Amino acid sequence: MLKNSHLELSRRESQIMDALFRLGTASVADVLSALDDPPAYNSIRTTLGILEKKGLVTHHKEGARFIYRTRESAARTGPGVLKNLVRTFFGGSAPKAVAALLDESAYLSDSEYRELRAALDKARRRDGEGS
């Protein structure tokens, strides 16, 4: 696998990875039907091949079809992608990224607020240990 290849996805590669995370396993036709603004069938097939070369996707053959799946779960891939997103769009500032997310949230439930508060407290304890 290319080092940090999951951090460098094009918009279309990200859309296809998202579809695979949602579907679990999928043929090219399945991915095509899962996208809101799908490109041509061959474009999806080509992009899946690129994702496979990057080490993010694997496939097996069922009859004449290739069935694709991600090599790692969204939970394992997500943190690296998120770090890249924060670095790219928020200058590496986690507080700016969180503030942007909260600006987009119309409402936080009590349980979501507690979850967020617990994550902030955990980060504070972790950072306090390194001081």
> What are the boundaries of each domain within the chain?
5-70, 93-129
Instruction: Write the pLDDT tens digit of every residue in 72-127.
Output: 888 887 787 788 778 888 999 988 888 888 876 667 888 988 998 898 899 889 88
Residues contacting 80, CB < 8 A, separation 6+: 4, 6, 7
From the list 115, 38, 80, the residue with the least C-alpha distance to 29 is 38
Model confidence pLDDT, tens digit, residues 54-68: 889 999 999 999 999
- pTM of structure: 0.64
Domain 5-70 has CATH 1.10.150.650: no
Residue type at 14 in one-letter notation: S
Q: In Å, how far are 55, 96, 98, 121 from 116, measured between CA atoms?
A: 33, 15, 10, 9
6-46: per-residue pLDDT in tens? Answer: 457 888 998 999 999 999 999 999 999 999 989 999 999 99
Residues shown for the chain: 131
